Amino acid sequence: MANPSLRIGHGYDIHPLIEGRPLVLGGITIASAKGLEGHSDADALTHALADAIFGAVALPDIGVYFPNTDPACKGMNSQLILKKAIEEARKLGYELLNADITVIAEAPKLKPHWAAMRTQLAETLGVAPSVIGLKATTNEGMDATGRGEAIAAYAVVLLTSTD
Ligand code: MG
């Protein structure tokens, strides 16, 4: 059967916010009293986006490609993970049409950083910045994200067949 012409993908990630770590989100470092904890740079936004791309082409999640038990992945720049995801999708004959990303964070305010994030993510993916939608919301004080203990991200992508 020929490749379907369109494939949708969804990704989700969450990392704890702790003191003493830089806050890396969407491939940029943001001034913040707390940063995300994780084996890599813990960029929850980029992880959700990469998982959405892997999922769209029915490949395993990023934990399979980049295990958090692998010393080589320690402190890793997650743009490398995202690059791997789009490369694997392209090998299977798909290109990213658009991505829609929602970050759930109580603080800091992310609006001033959207442009820089979009530029970085577009560069990593080799796509136009206009295909990357970024938005944020709070959890209204509820749950770990609402208490400022974590940042979560959801990503939806649409891929088109290049065959
Ligand atoms: Mg993660």
pLDDT digits (tens, 9 = 90+) for 62-117: 999 998 888 988 999 999 999 999 999 999 999 999 999 999 999 999 999 999 99
Q: Read off the pLDDT of each residue in 35-40 and give the average, rounded to a whole number.
A: 95
Report how far ligand 1's centroid is from the alpha carbon of 44 (Å). 5
Q: What distance in Å separates the CA atoms of residue 114 and residue 128, rounded to the nearest whole number?
A: 14
Query: Which residues are 35's β-sheet partners?
Result: 18
Region 40-58: what's the mean pLDDT?
98
Task: Name the nearest CA neighbour of 151 among 8, 21, 60.
Answer: 21
Q: Which DSSP category does 69 fall into?
A: T
In eight-state DSSP terms, residue 111 is G
Task: State mean pLDDT over 40-56.
Answer: 98
CB 126 within 8 A of CB 159: no
pLDDT of residue 3: 80
Helix ranges, the chain (H):
44-56, 62-65, 79-91, 114-125, 143-146
Q: What is the pLDDT of the chain when averaged over all its residues?
A: 96
Q: How confident is the model at residue 146 (pLDDT cuts 50, 70, 90)?
A: very high
Residues 148-161, mean pLDDT to the nearest whole number: 98
Distance between Cα 47 and ligand 1 center (Å): 5
Name, in order, each residue with C-beta under 8 angstroms of 123's C-beta and a sequence gap of 6 or more. Answer: none
pLDDT at 72: 86
Residue 48, pLDDT > 80, answer: yes
**Residue found by looking up tokens 């392209």 in the block:** 90
Length of the chain, please? 163
Residues with CB under 5 A from ligand 1 (ion): 13, 47
* pLDDT value at 32 more than 70: yes
pLDDT for 134 beyond 70: yes
- On whether the CB atoms of residues 28 and 62 are closer than 8 A, the answer is no
Residue linked to tokens 């203990």: 149
* Contact (CB, 8 A) for 162 and 7: no
When pLDDT is cut at 50, 70 and 90, the band that residue 4 belongs to is confident
Question: How far from the centroid of its chain's Cα atoms is residue 68's Cα?
Answer: 16
Average pLDDT over residues 122-132: 98
CA of 41 to the centre of ligand 1 (A): 9
Here the tokens at position 56 are 């769209």
Q: How many CB atoms lie within 10 A of CB 1?
A: 3
